[in-house]
Amino acid sequence: MRTKSTLENYVFVLPAVLIFSIFYIVPFIWVCRYSLHDWDGIMPIMTYIGLANFKEIIQDKIWWGSMLNAGYITLIALTFQNALAFLLAWACDREIRLKNFYRVIFFIPPVLSEVVVGLVWQWILDGNYGLLNHWLSHLGFPNLVRNWLSDPQTALTTVAIVHSWKGFGWGFLIFLAGLQTIPRELYEAARVDGANAWYCFRKVTIPLMIPVAVLVAILTVLGTMQAFVLIIAMTGGGPAYHTQVPVLRILASMRGSSRFGYACAQGLSFGLILIAISFIQYRFSKRARQV
């Protein structure tokens, strides 16, 4: 009777465990295994080459260049995008008219797909027929007109700003939820004690928001470092590797040069780097909270 009941209970988790094992655990193991092999993905034979893929990654200039590009986009997301998100959340946290309207609008870019956002912005930023250049030349700034996405000087920053446009709504919602957990009495008590708005902001809001800010920072880093579909839609990684990012390189290793082993090694080392970064951020935040 008992064993029958236990077996019955397993039926509940069986579909989930099956799908998870086939589509998560097996690929996870395979990434580790293929990263030690040279394989084109088609031939039945693959050659064991030890750590040769990883040695090649260390010397792969395009790979590290793409890592720097992703780092640059992440830096802009961490500063510009998150500062914007926080300011908007802070503005909306007050008793303000149309608060809900803003909350709905700011989350529209995040619900759109990266393909839609990328292609619409590409049209707006088009060098010859784009609306931005049209406005610039008609509003008296013709010297600012350029091929935003195919000029090596502007391509990466332009992509980073569109990425921030698409992403700030996430940070906004999380910051707003965080701000709303701060008890109003704290502000009132500070005001009774004669503190001005700026003092309240520094001594009440900021310290209480540090854990939320760390969370947003970790999510931003993980999300932005791995972003690539928006870039496919806007520049395809060009001009000449100027907007390449790591996941785009992995896709290129797999589809472009049919080097599945190398693609897996790239994925594995990139995953380890991401885990290390979020771990460091987490430790850093713990220390910041103790101070």
Determine the size of the site formed for other proteins (CB under 8 A): 83
Binding mask 227-246 for other proteins (x = CB under 8 A): -xx--xx------------x
Closest contact distance (angstroms) between CB of 75 and other proteins is: 19
CA 135 to chain centre: 30
Cβ closest to other proteins, residue 96 vs residue 192: 96
Closest contact distance (angstroms) between CB of 73 and other proteins is: 15
Q: Strand (E) positions, the chain?
A: 37-38, 47-48
Q: Which long-range contacts (CB under 8 A, 24 or more apart) does 66-71 make?
A: 66/241, 66/244, 66/245, 66/246, 66/248, 66/249, 67/246, 67/273, 69/156, 69/242, 69/243, 69/244, 69/245, 70/224, 70/225, 70/227, 70/245, 70/246, 71/225
Token pair, residue 45, equals: 């034979």
By CB under 8 A, is residue 117 in contact with other proteins? Answer: yes
Q: Please give the residues from 34 up to 93 whose contact with other proteins meets the rule CB under 8 A.
A: 34, 41, 84, 87-88, 91-92
Q: What residues does 48 pair with on adjacent strands? A: 37
Q: Please give the residues from 95 up to 114 whose contact with other proteins meets the rule CB under 8 A.
A: 96, 98, 101-109, 111-114
By CB under 8 A, is residue 252 in contact with other proteins? Answer: no
CA atoms within 13 A on the CB side of 6: 3
Name which of 230, 248, 232 is nearest 112 in CA terms.
230
By CB under 8 A, is residue 27 in contact with other proteins? Answer: yes
By CB under 8 A, is residue 177 in contact with other proteins? Answer: yes
Cβ closest to other proteins, residue 156 vs residue 253: 253
By CB under 8 A, is residue 28 in contact with other proteins? Answer: yes
Evaluate the omega torsion of the peptide bond into residue 27 and state whether it is cis, within 30 degrees of 0. no
Q: Please give the residues from 193 up to 232 whose contact with other proteins meets the rule CB under 8 A.
A: 215, 218-219, 222, 226, 228-229, 232
Please identify, among the stretches 48-56, 143-151, 253-261, 283-291, the one whose residues bind other proteins according to the rule CB under 8 A: 253-261
